[in-house]
Structure 1
Amino acid sequence: MPSDDPRYWFPAKRYGWGWGPPTTWEGWIVVATFFALVVAGIFLVPPQQSMPAFVGYVIALTVVLTAICWLKGEPPRWRWGNDDR
């Protein structure tokens, strides 16, 4: 039986704008993959050889992570804590 309440991978933060830690296994896989790819980037794009390339690589991964959070997380908006909406 389908639910009317969507299942978000990333809940909204209580204070501020953005998302908190994942609440589903899918979200945790996304975060673990992000960190694994950052560590792999140390070997694939060594920062000792080209710091701009490594920074670009990490920025690209961060853009992808943000896009996934945007698509699979609660809609972002500024929050002030005790919000009943």
Structure 2
Amino acid sequence: MSESYWFRQRRYGLGAFPANWKGWAFIGAYVVLLTGVMSWLTADTHDRHAHPLAAVGISIAMTIVFVYVCWIKTEGGWRWRWGDDDRR
């Protein structure tokens, strides 16, 4: 079974971008979940109070997991790239 990568390395700089629908779906799920959790935790309704510190902690944890999954699902790994001349 071949390994399926969701992201490809960038040509310049550090990081990756989606290589197929799974990468785009993962980014979309992250944005929707993060937005939902932040809206729920920062809403000050009549039956509960807002929890901004919990929102910050959860957003940091979600972002760490997001970056880790992107890193392990990137073809070629992450490192600084200089374009086509990648020998610097």
**TM-score, with normalisation over the residues of structure 1?**
0.77
**Alignment partners' CA distance in 2, 1:57 and 1:81:** 35
Name whichever structure is richer in strand by fraction. 2
**Alignment partners' CA distance in 1, 2:57 and 2:10:** 27
**Alignment partners' CA distance in 2, 1:80 and 1:57:** 34
The RMSD of aligned alpha carbons is: 2.3
Corresponding residue for 1:68?
69
Give the percent of matched residue pairs that are identical in Structure 1 and Structure 2: 40
SS at match of 1:11: strand
Unmatched tracts of structure 2, length 5 or more: 45-49
Distance 1:83 1:8, change over 3 A: farther
**Aligned pairs (5 A) from 1:39-78:** 39-46=35-42, 49-74=50-75, 75-78=77-80
Corresponding residue for 2:29?
33
User: How far apart are residue 72 of structure 1 and its match?
Assistant: 0.8
Structure 1 runs (4+) deviating above 6 angstroms are none
Corresponding residue for 1:8?
5
Corresponding pairs, count: 81
**TM-score, with normalisation over the residues of structure 2?**
0.75
Pair member with larger Rg: 2
**Alignment partners' CA distance in 2, 1:40 and 1:81:** 37
Distance 1:41 1:82, change over 3 A: same
